[in-house]
Amino acid sequence: MFKGSDPINMDTKGRMAIPTRYRPLLDEICSSDLVITIDMKSACLTLSPLPEWKKFEEKVAALPALDELGEMLSRFVVGQAKDLQVDGSGRILIPPELRGYAQLEKKLVLVGRSQRLEIWSEENWNAEREKSQETYRSMLLDRDNMSDALKNLSW
């Protein structure tokens, strides 16, 4: 559904335009109702169509009450989630506390992750990309520690 990356500018009010290629799709699958929240593994935000978010939220709610990771997901990812609506100009308003978490300034990168999007500061995205290239090269050479699913992945 969502793929690729797009450089985007955020205005001084914290508004960001959704790329035009995604707008009809978002209107179709969720009436442009989105959920934005933090990503616990990286200094970025996730942006999900409401139906995809609801699936995730149900999975988190079904986790055992004493599961520490489940509690963290519930407290920090679900607990900081905000509902958003794409406005008539194709923009969303990123809440200030989430902008702070992800260190968002003017230059952003929107990254497609199949069922959701990620919003990165340009600086953090470039650093993550460099780090990932080094890490994944060494991981790809270590087939003994690779899951069977990854060993069999090809296109």
pLDDT tens digits, 50-70: 999 999 999 998 988 888 888
- The full set of domains in the chain, from first to last, is 5-122 (3.40.1550.20)
The band of 3, judged by pLDDT with boundaries at 50, 70 and 90, is very high
pLDDT value at 155 more than 70: no
Instruction: State phi, psi for 21 to the nearest 5 degrees.
Output: -65, -20
Q: How far apart are CA 64 and CA 50, in angstroms?
A: 24
What is the pTM assigned to this prediction? Answer: 0.86
Say which amino acid occupies 32: S
Q: Provide the 8-state DSSP code for 10.
A: B
